[in-house]
A = this chain, B = another copy of it.
Amino acid sequence: MDYSIEFLTRRLKSKAIRPSYQRIKVLEYVHQKGGHPTADDIFRALSGDIPSLSKVTVYNTLHTFVKAGLLRVVDIDDGEKRYDVTLADHGHFQCEACGTIFNFRVNIDQVPIEGLERFEITQKNVYFKGLCPNCLQPTANGRKEEAR
């Protein structure tokens, strides 16, 4: 994929967000890294490149991006919020052993819903929990993988 500075700059400008160095770096990180990083993941990853970087800037930037629809919040974890570049509708599974968050395909619009006839729905989240294949796999000694 093309996550060049020019591409990211254009993406920001298209949302009327000024392409500051910090913002471009945050956007670059979430695109290149993918997955579901926390604000702190992003802060620690960029601190090297931008020694002056403040955590508040990361928070500000993430808020801006979410409001502009560039990112989506995943709030499955207790504790920290996570940020997701994948905007297409999908569900999230969090492994209770290793904590990893996985995406899965789910067509929530096909589900029969009862009781929201007069409601206006703007956001649909599907969060599952359980054990991922890695953590289900028994190790050589016959026990489960160690939880992190």
Contacts and interface: CB of A to CB of B under 8 A. Distances in A.
Nearest to A137: B118
Interface string A105-124: 11110111111101111111
Contacts of A111: 106-108, 110-111
**Top 8 closest A-B pairs, CB basis?**
A104-B115, A105-B114, A123-B129, A118-B133, A122-B130, A121-B130, A125-B127, A120-B131
Contacts of A6: none
Interface of A: 75, 78, 81, 91, 93, 95-96, 102-108, 110-116, 118-133, 136
A113 B120 contact: no
Contact of A104 (B107, B113, B123, B136): B113
A116 B93 contact: yes
Contacts of A132: 119
